[in-house]
Structure 1
Amino acid sequence: MTDPKEQGDAGTIKPLMKTKTILRNKIHSTLSKKAQAENFEKVAPGTSYWTSKREGQVQLRMGKNPLEDEPPVTVPDLIMSAATKYSHYLAIGSKCKKSWQVLTYIEYYEACRRAAKAFLKVGLERFHGVGIMGINSSEWVIASIGAIMAGGISVGILSSNSPKACQVIAETSEMDVFVVDNDRQLQKVNQIQGYLKHLKAIIQYREDIQKVQPNLYSWKGFLDLADSISDEKLDQIIDTQKPNQCCALVYNQSTSGIPKAIMLSHDNITWTTAATVQSLGYKCPPQGQEVLVSYLPLCFPRIQLLDVWVAISVAGTVYFPSLESGKWSGLPRTPGTGFLMELLREVQPTTFCGIPWVWDRMLDSLKTKHLDSTAFRRRIDRWAMRMGLHTNKRRMMGEIHQPLCFGLAKRLTFEPARKFLGLNHCQQFLNVGMGLPSGTLDFFLSMNMPIMECYGLSECSGLHTVSNLQAYRFLSSGKALPQTHTKVEKDNQNGVGNLSIWGRHVFMGYLRDKQSTETKVDIHGWLHTNDLGFMDFDKFLYFMGNTNDLIKLSSGEMVNPFPIEERVRTRIPIVRYAMLVGQDAPYLCALLTLKKQFKGQERRPMDKALAITTMRTVSL
């Protein structure tokens, strides 16, 4: 990778400007902390745990002694602190063609302030939305933080959303500004902007603008608007923000009908960030610096938490893929290739977050590589994997001594596998999607790559439980974040029941939906998840599905499809996904998708097959 010190002037500022900014930040940070402490004391007593109003304030779920809790801070304080402490450390980088455009933390902070001032110039109002729709990039993150600094609400929008879905989101969030990455997303906004009474500006941050519009700005043209807004005006707006006020909206993508707008406060984001850092083994300068890649959609709170807020908190470096990486012809790729694998090999991340689809592709790539090797090489790999699985499972139970030959297995098999995936510097492997099947977990465990599961809803800022190397149980979602609580209600004979959670990560409420908020959060502040699970003696959580997914047969029997689907995927290795159906039917059916197979050296994928298997519940 190109040395960041040799990079061009992407976002650079003069040394004198840097010094002035740091001094101003130190003074402003002190004043801001005092102001927020005073504001918090005024609003906390007597307020509710939830609200459905965008300008509302909620009571934070503090302990009996608030002095022992993490002090509430705002999002501007979080990035300001990082810019002050780690001003010259590399913060973010985006790849443009073959070169990296990078920003240090002080440049990152200055860019966010410029974006905030530009938002004020185009007319962003307090608690109004800024919609961001596009692939992950430096501009995406800067626009999100800038919107929050300017007193607006950051609204991440999935790039695959239809124009109608964008219209619903824009109307409910009273969106003043749309930020899009290319002309394709711009056309969606153009189709609906006649219905949006609050829309004042559209910003396109990638690709050249093809047709000039009165309210359309390029990214550079947008940032140039910041020159007419003073720092003092922006600082006044930042100082009025309180930790228990809304700063971000997340739309529940899985909800049928109109999506619910989930309000997250400053404290939701900053407290959950601090708790996550405490639970996971992140490095922080000067001891070391985390390196991360951001490729999963940032509109999901769990992804944004890990890729943006945690990275800022630990002063990590986040790399975004190039624009060209998202363009795929649809032709089959050779295992071990593709933009993600190439990015990982170039960047060498220290922590990697994947979803089941990604882990499955990596597993397939390693297995294909294994089959292509010599018979002697395969025997060595099988021996090393047996030792890896046995050693890591013993390690879970507290065994700390490794076999004498473990180092040899590591050198011969584990390290080459990591290097092949671009993860040879990686210390943490996180699964941020649905739970992985036991076969996938076993395989990576045998490769000395324990994948840490986690659990959480958008309504709890994305995370509630996490696993780490010191607290790991097979098939478990880990332990709850510090100072949070988990309750299992109405459990059956197996201990499986409805999960409820409590903590400062629980959301403020659904925007303009008082009824749904009252149903989701009770008067004591407990969030009722509708998820099923149980906790073992050591407080490890095991996720077992959702009550809304239960299937009712014609006989009246209620069936939880989650464990059956897991068992099918485990017992039939060729099955990639399984979905149980049979609502109001006398029996269950399973829809199965089969894994791609490769024929010898040809690398030609066989056609996917869809099998429908009928089975009676008693046989499962």
Structure 2
Amino acid sequence: METSSSGRLILKWGKESKIKNVPELFRERVERSYGKLAYKYKDKTGKWVEVSWGEMKKKVDSAATFLIKDGINKGDKIAVLSDTRPEWAIVDLAILSSGAITVGLYPTLSPSQIEFLLNHSDSVMLFVENKEKLEKIIEIKDKIPKIRKIIVFEPEGCEKYFDSPTFLSFSKCLSVEPDEELVQERINQIGKDDVAIMVYTSGTTGDPKGAMISHGNIIAFLSSFDDFADILEIGDDDISYHFLPMAHVAEHIAGFFGRINIGLAAAYATSIKAVVDEIKEVKPTVFGAVPRIFEKAYARIQEEVGKLPERRQKIFKWAEKVGREYVRFLNERKPIPLSLKVKYKIAYELVLRRIKEAFGGRVKYFITGAAPIPYEILEFMWACNLKIYEVYGLTEATVITHANTPLEFKLGTVGKPIKCVECKIAEDGEILIRGPIVFKGYYKNEKATREAIDEEGWLHTGDIGEIDSEGFLKIKDRKKHIIITAGGKNIIPAEIENKIKAQDIIISQAHVHGDGRPYLVALITLNSQEALEFAIKNNILDEKEKEKAKKILNELAEKPLSRPEGLDELMKKISNHPLIYERVKRAVENANKELSRVENIRKFKIFERDFYIDEGEITPTLKVKRKEIEKKFKHIFDEMYKE
């Protein structure tokens, strides 16, 4: 099956378009790319199954027909609780085609968190992935009275519930004869100002808020973010690989709706555990990823290099040095000397190319955001011809407001504003955004909406940043997170925390504390997988504990955010071991060398376990809930100042 070509980019900046909503965009894509590959996924036999845009439309129309005939009205809210998979995408387009609003839920949420979001959003229907997710819903079923139907993607193990009219297998939706006229009639009623999706913000400082993003917001963003497809000539051989959660605005809008606009095929990950192997199979050319992936890859590479014979280590270090020098010329937009070009070609073919091959070998670029990547990691990845373009945005601004692009980039920044965005820095350093990508407001929360958008239409992002002389934006931290020490010094904790985490892959989270204090301290958590592997290799655990650790590692490989039985007990022992303390101490000392004296971490404590979503310590996007940590672990911070 052919893949689709970006020569048929639909929405483009400066080009007039009659498209006013997402379903119309999808239908235009189907018309232009009917027989071409839309996506592929692995079936239960391990074989890749390919689906064309035309076949996808039939599925979408069947599901949309079912929704409309089942009584879904324009403006109703329908929630989806699932990992990213083809059914999520089909249901999303079906919901939007029925005039309803998609409410994405993170599959890692606890039953009580799901209950809050379903009730607050006034969702009337829920799509659930499988038995595991359905069990969370069964636990709260009596507390979500507005949900009148629950539809399951994978019916295995859920059969006992299907006797009730409330429960249904998704295959029943797809078996409905599509009524194109009925669906088109509903699509015609959807205007640019109508809400398309509701995205609940992570809530690092309180309850999540439902950000309402309109069809017009999405169309404006897609029209403005067309540089990558044009410049890199995304074409017939290109394919993206998807494993990030669709509940996140980046994967939902930039990842999914973006590829509809470009006409880019997708391969869906079977599971998190399968990602490393499937990347080599799929050989994606476009990749969305979170910074931690690159941080872990870099740490792993450096660790493996350290095990090589001395001669091979020297060759690697030479290649790395040459690659970094080459990237500095690129980044500063200076002519590259011929001698350096020759050395880089040798270094790349001899060493650096192999690292790119670990990502499939064909990646044209990565787009990443959410948190800054340490400069040394960015530079190294670029040296390996793994071009990472950092972007910046937020849910309330329809995902991306600033981006580095192939034509304009500067490592260590998040780029310049996209075409429809105005940006300025307020007197207190806060980043302000204005343009057609600014959201419609928070659902049932006018007070918060007025606080977010001022009378002149500027969105107050809550982030502190600076714009350099060339117009590139650099993010510092959240405005509310700034620490003012007892000596009156303003400290940006995120910069310190990122430096600590970048030193060693075993560190999961670093929370810097020191507001009103004489110096800074840090509460550090360990990455459970890395800590368990280290403990097994270094005999921190006895034989019985090692067997338990290996079993837990298998579970974590499948579900990295889970909390298997027995994990906390093992982590408590590991976190108190002298070898672990020395390893973390080295990381903190190395980070301190890169920081000013006032930013130095004077004391740290290794917590006995990692932070967890179900403990209310981190958000579904793995951001630390600072207020919760400060309050919950006050006794630990107080103790560090007494010692």
Q: TM-score w.r.t. structure 2 length?
A: 0.77
Q: Which residue of 2 aligns with 1:404?
A: 342
Describe the shift of the 1:561–1:342 C-alpha distance in structure 2 as closer, same or farther (beyond 3 A).
same
d(CA) in 2 for partners of 1:598 and 1:67?
A: 54
d(CA) in 1 for partners of 2:147 and 2:19?
A: 32
What is the CA-CA distance between 1:211 and the residue it aligns to? 1.4
Q: Which residue of 2 aligns with 1:216?
A: 167
The CA deviation string for residues 268-321 of structure 1, in whole angstroms up to 9 with x for no partner, is 122212322235656567x43431111111101012223211111111111112
Q: Which residue of 2 aligns with 1:263?
A: 212
Q: Which residue of 2 aligns with 1:149?
A: 97
Residues paired across the two proteins, number = 536
Q: Which residue of 2 aligns with 1:354?
A: 289
Matched, 1:167 2:115: yes
What is the CA-CA distance between 1:604 and the residue it aligns to? 6.8
Alignment of 1:249-260 (within 5 A): 249-260=198-209
Contact 1:133/1:180, CA 8 A, preserved across alignment: yes
* RMSD across aligned positions (CA): 3.0
Q: Which residue of 2 aligns with 1:340?
A: 275
Contact 1:279/1:466, CA 8 A, preserved across alignment: no
Match of 1:579 among 483, 502, 511: 511
Q: Which residue of 1 aligns with 2:616?
A: none
The CA deviation string for residues 415-455 of structure 1, in whole angstroms up to 9 with x for no partner, is 21111x23310010222331112232233233332321111
Contact 2:220/2:436, CA 8 A, preserved across alignment: yes
Question: Bigger shift: 142-151 or 441-450?
Answer: 441-450
d(CA) in 2 for partners of 1:145 and 1:306?
A: 15
Describe the shift of the 1:131–1:604 C-alpha distance in structure 2 as closer, same or farther (beyond 3 A).
farther
SS in 2 for 1:562: helix
What is the CA-CA distance between 1:144 and the residue it aligns to? 0.8
Matched, 1:459 2:396: yes
Alignment of 1:267-278 (within 5 A): 267-278=216-227
Which residue type is aligned with residue 242 of structure 1?
Answer: G
Contact 1:264/1:461, CA 8 A, preserved across alignment: yes
Which residue type is aligned with residue 343 of structure 1?
Answer: E
Which sections of structure 1, spanning at least 5 residues, go unmatched?
6-32, 34-65, 327-337, 492-496
Match of 1:618 among 595, 598, 606: 598
Contact 2:295/2:502, CA 8 A, preserved across alignment: no
d(CA) in 2 for partners of 1:580 and 1:604?
A: 29
Describe the shift of the 1:573–1:237 C-alpha distance in structure 2 as closer, same or farther (beyond 3 A).
closer
Describe the shift of the 1:241–1:604 C-alpha distance in structure 2 as closer, same or farther (beyond 3 A).
farther
d(CA) in 1 for partners of 2:275 and 2:14?
A: 44
SS in 2 for 1:106: helix
Question: Bigger shift: 350-359 or 554-563?
Answer: 554-563
Alignment of 1:295-444 (within 5 A): 295-322=243-270, 325-326=271-272, 338-401=273-336, 403-419=341-357, 421-444=358-381
The CA deviation string for residues 50-108 of structure 1, in whole angstroms up to 9 with x for no partner, is xxxxxxxxxxxxxxxx9877666210111111111111111111212311222111111
Match of 2:50 among 98, 102, 106: 102
What is the CA-CA distance between 1:123 and the residue it aligns to? 2.2
SS in 1 for 2:225: helix
Match of 2:442 among 506, 510, 514: 510
Match of 2:451 among 519, 536, 540: 519
Q: Which residue of 1 aligns with 2:31?
A: 84
What is the CA-CA distance between 1:499 and the residue it aligns to? 0.4
Contact 1:154/1:247, CA 8 A, preserved across alignment: yes
Matched, 1:536 2:468: yes
Which residue type is aligned with residue 165 of structure 1?
Answer: Q
Contact 1:465/1:478, CA 8 A, preserved across alignment: yes
Q: Which residue of 2 aligns with 1:469?
A: 406
Taking only the aligned residue pairs, the percentage that are identical comes to 21
Which residue type is aligned with residue 128 of structure 2?
Answer: V
d(CA) in 1 for partners of 2:230 and 2:314?
A: 34
SS in 1 for 2:192: coil
Alignment of 1:476-495 (within 5 A): 476-491=413-428
SS in 2 for 1:263: strand
What is the CA-CA distance between 1:125 and the residue it aligns to? 2.2
SS in 2 for 1:544: strand
d(CA) in 2 for partners of 1:364 and 1:166?
A: 35
What is the CA-CA distance between 1:220 and the residue it aligns to? 0.8
Matched, 1:291 2:239: yes
Matched, 1:123 2:71: yes
Which residue type is aligned with residue 221 of structure 1?
Answer: K
d(CA) in 2 for partners of 1:99 and 1:200?
A: 36
The CA deviation string for residues 315-337 of structure 1, in whole angstroms up to 9 with x for no partner, is 11111122xx35xxxxxxxxxxx
What is the CA-CA distance between 1:365 and the residue it aligns to? 3.1
Describe the shift of the 1:599–1:456 C-alpha distance in structure 2 as closer, same or farther (beyond 3 A).
closer
SS in 2 for 1:534: strand
Contact 1:284/1:316, CA 8 A, preserved across alignment: no
Which residue type is aligned with residue 350 of structure 1?
Answer: T
Q: Which residue of 1 aligns with 2:184?
A: 235
Describe the shift of the 1:397–1:490 C-alpha distance in structure 2 as closer, same or farther (beyond 3 A).
same
d(CA) in 2 for partners of 1:465 and 1:545?
A: 16
Contact 2:364/2:387, CA 8 A, preserved across alignment: no
Which residue type is aligned with residue 162 of structure 1?
Answer: S
What is the CA-CA distance between 1:237 and the residue it aligns to? 0.7
SS in 2 for 1:202: strand
Which residue type is aligned with residue 300 of structure 2?
Answer: S
Q: TM-score w.r.t. structure 1 length?
A: 0.80
Contact 1:555/1:586, CA 8 A, preserved across alignment: yes
d(CA) in 1 for partners of 2:349 and 2:24?
A: 44
Describe the shift of the 1:302–1:241 C-alpha distance in structure 2 as closer, same or farther (beyond 3 A).
same
What is the CA-CA distance between 1:593 and the residue it aligns to? 4.7
Q: Which residue of 1 aligns with 2:551?
A: none
Contact 1:123/1:200, CA 8 A, preserved across alignment: no
Which residue type is aligned with residue 122 of structure 2?
Answer: E
What is the CA-CA distance between 1:574 and the residue it aligns to? 7.9
Describe the shift of the 1:139–1:365 C-alpha distance in structure 2 as closer, same or farther (beyond 3 A).
same
Contact 2:81/2:133, CA 8 A, preserved across alignment: yes
Describe the shift of the 1:576–1:394 C-alpha distance in structure 2 as closer, same or farther (beyond 3 A).
farther
What is the CA-CA distance between 1:590 and the residue it aligns to? 1.9
SS in 1 for 2:246: coil
